[in-house]
Structure formats: C-alpha cells, structure tokens
Amino acid sequence: MNYTIHQLQIFLKVIQTRSITKASEELFMTQPAVSIQLKKFQDQFDIPLTEVIGRQLYVTDFGIEIGKIAEKVIQELENINYKTQAYEGLLTGRLNISSASTGKYVIPYFLSGFLEKNTGIDLVLDVTNKSRVIESLKNNETDFALVSVLPDKLDIEEELLIENKLYLFGNESRRRKDKALIYREEGSATRMAMEQYFDKHEGQQRKRMELTSNEAVKQAVIAGLGYSIMPLIGMKNELLNNELHLLPSRGLPIKTEWRLIWLKGKKMSPVSEYYLEFIRTEKQKIREEYFDWYLKY
C-alpha cells in the first residue's frame, strides 16, 4: 500500500462531513480534487470504504474502522510537531473550546493575547448552539465550554469572564405593540430568558417569530420585522450606527455571566492549565481594554 498523509486527511474529513462537497469546502479544495484523492485511497483496498445510495454518501463499517486508524495516525503526526516545538522551548499542544453562538462576541478577546504569546498552540473553537456545547462537554470532547447559563445535572467548575446583559431592542426608539416578538430557537439560553421575562411582565405573547441564530434575529430586528431581547455585547456597531435602539423596559436588563466551564475532576493538559492561569491573571485587564463601552451600560 502507498497512500499519503494527505489522502488520510481527506478520507477522515469525508467521514466527518458525510459529504464530498462539505469536505472540499472545509479543506479548501475543489470537489474533483477531493474525489480523485478519495478514489486513489479506495483503490488500495479490495473492500469498499464508502458507498453512494441515491445522492447520499455512506461510510461502510470497514471505512469507519479505517477512519479510526487514520484519526490516530494524524493525531500522532501532530504530536510529532508538538514535541519538536516543545524541544525548541515553546508551549505546544491543542486547546479545544466550545462556545454558545453569542459567545463569539466574547471569547476571541480572551484568546488573542494568549495565542499571541504562545505560537505553538493550535486552537479549535467550535461556535454552535447551547445543546451541542453541553453535549461536547458531557462527552469530554472539549477542554472548556463558554456559556451564559450553567447546565443542569452536570458537575462542573467555572471561571467567570464578564457579565451578560440582555435588553429589548428595536429599530425605532419606541416600541409598537402591533409588531411581532422575535425569539431564538428552543433550547437557546436567550430564548429561555426572553420567555421568562414576558411571562412575568407582559403575559402570553401571541405574535411571535422564531429564528435559529442571534445574527438572524439581529438582522430581522434591524429590518423592522419586530422586537427581541438580545445580549448587549453583540450590538456595539448597530447601536453606534443607530440601526438598533435599546428600549428601556421594566425588569431589564436580564443579567447572567459569561463563564468558562469544565468537567469537575477533569485531568487538564498543560495547555489547558496555562490558559486557565492566563484567564485568571488577565481577565480584568481584558475587560477594561476591550469592553469599556459595554461596562458603562
């Protein structure tokens, strides 16, 4: 057999995405290039690795087993790079963080200084919905999770980063009762906070709309489709440009905390321990440098 590391990487990405199209996008390759390398890899085995039924690509049982081995091989190759850098005096390794979608306005600022000082560290940052964040934490697939509401029935430890403040926003300075309320999807922490607020202060709301990302909700509010309770931390430019208006309302803001959490008793890697030490030492400075506008509200 004479397969290459590149072919192993391509095959592994195809397994992960279950799609040549998606694999090519994530690898920044053309679809024909991925297909050619996949075929060259397959040609070295008498047993099929994948099969296409209709338009759907499926990985065979044999393909899954080869994929597990490929993942270990690639991981060991990465370890060679890390070991080499370690002997050169660099802190090396991988830092995995899973963040709730609105956390994208928070976590980059708590990473930039750390990564700038430690160029031997690779970052894997998965920005996704709250349910997936908690699932990856439960399965020990990530070092840290960034959330604004603590998960139920999960024994964790935490480090607070910055307060999370939710306000009612509209594209006008006054609220009109004939416009809809725009909610996030089920399971979203922002959705739960919004439902609790209106149940307590305004009762049942009939006119409503549901969108599946904070950015989609923001754009819908800017377009005048309705109003929504959203985290202030992602609204800086829209407030400065008068695209959005903060609508003072009784009982607002709703306040929680953005926090890094990890499984209690988790054996941390040297990279994770060093990052946690960095956060504890630098978080106040980071808040003052990057979130001065936010802290004034």
Query: Of 3.40.50.1100, 3.40.50.2300, 3.40.190.10, 3.40.50.150, which CATH number belongs to 93-163+257-295?
Result: 3.40.190.10
pTM over 0.75: no
**CATH domain 5-87 topology:** Arc Repressor Mutant, subunit A (1.10.10)
List pLDDT tens digits, range 154-205. Answer: 999 999 999 999 999 999 988 887 888 999 988 888 888 898 898 888 776 6
**Number of C-beta neighbours around residue 295 at 10 A:** 11
Residues 199 and 190: their CA atoms lie apart, in Å, by 14
Spans of all domains in the chain: 5-87, 93-163+257-295, 164-256
List pLDDT tens digits, range 4-54. Answer: 888 988 998 998 888 888 888 888 889 999 999 999 999 999 999 999 888
User: What DSSP string runs through 81-95?
Assistant: HHHHHHHTT---EEE
- Helices 5-17, 31-42: axis angle to 10 degrees equals 110
Q: Give the pLDDT of residue 110.
A: 97
**CATH domain 164-256 topology:** D-Maltodextrin-Binding Protein; domain 2 (3.40.190)
List pLDDT tens digits, range 219-237. Answer: 999 999 999 999 999 999 9
Same fold, 5-87 and 93-163+257-295: no
Angle CA(25)–CA(26)–CA(31) in degrees, nearest 5? 35
